[in-house]
Amino acid sequence: MGFWTRLTHHFHMLRIGALTLRNGLMMAPMSGITNLPFRRIAKRLGAGLVATEMISAVGLARRQEKTFRYLKSDPEERPLSVQIFGSDPQVMAEAGRVAVDAGADLVDINMGCPARKVIKTGAGGALLRSPDRVRAIVSAVRAVCPVPLTVKTRTGWSADQPVASDIARIVEDCGADAITLHPRFVAQRFSGQADWGIIAHVKSQVGIPVIGNGDVWSPSRALDMMQQTGCDGVMIGRAAIGNPWIFREILDLDKGLNPRPPELWERRKIILAHFSLLTDLMGEERAAKVMRGLLLYYTKGLPCSSRFRGAFTGINDLDTMIAAMDAYFSLLTGSSGIPILRPDPVAHPTSAEEQS
């Protein structure tokens, strides 16, 4: 099956409020990663739901132009989840209203981000220390949000404050349609192991869908999470960076097929498509800078990739990226050269951190 073929699914169809997803396989919001180009690629490769980067509620409420750029969307990626963060219930409500007016199909509230710049404002993971504020925020956003409303959270602030079940019940009581749980404490950031048993426990405590997130590094791990926790869907974060095929591979495995890692030609085609979409969004010069970092992920695990990292740092436009890739992929194929694949009309339509 080619990259551009629309995928059918057998991974659970999932209903969140009035929204029905083609499957319960979701892309996590990630700073600097889940912009419009990456979302479109993830959707083409099978994700049932894609999400914006985490967006400041203050910025949306104040209609700041820089913040509004995060809301740029395309019909191809729909349905789209817009994730907002903040600590003031009324500001969060206004941000939710703005997101919906801009076309959000689902609004997600971040209550788990461990980043210091977010925590110091009382938002993200800091909210897990204030159940009353959690209640006020979800209630305020729910009152003005006509589309499905979800919350993404963690187990609690620290090991002596395991509040996931309490937060999940509050979220459900306040009218949220689903909850996503990353079963680490905020203080852990991304260290240690995600405790999937907490996902199973939360699932037993609420009636709304529970989405599992954390330590899903391979297709088999996604199915393991579903089986071990009974969760309704799985959210993939860092494992999808430079590896958007993970969504397709999970769907294949769920159908009983062997997951199909991309062949070199497909890997090159998607890299070029990604660059093309980034260029549409931000211009060729900025796109080239972004692709330098992404190429390290796209080639991770391939033979001799470390030898070509220096070449990647010299990329400043499409031609230099093609030259660097041609040199590298020629080495991998053992040939003197491979045809240059420029973005065709189909591929060129008119410090990454998972945030909770």
Going by C-alpha positions, the residue among 278, 240, 257 that lies closest to residue 43 is 240
Q: Determine phi and psi for 154, rounding to 5 degrees.
A: -125, 180
Question: 209: cis peptide before it, omega within 30°?
Answer: no
Residues with active-site annotation:
113
Going by C-alpha positions, the residue among 139, 118, 34 that lies closest to residue 81 is 34
Residues 6 or more apart whose CB falls under 8 angstroms from that of 258 comprise 252
Residues 6 or more apart whose CB falls under 8 angstroms from that of 305 comprise 296, 299, 328
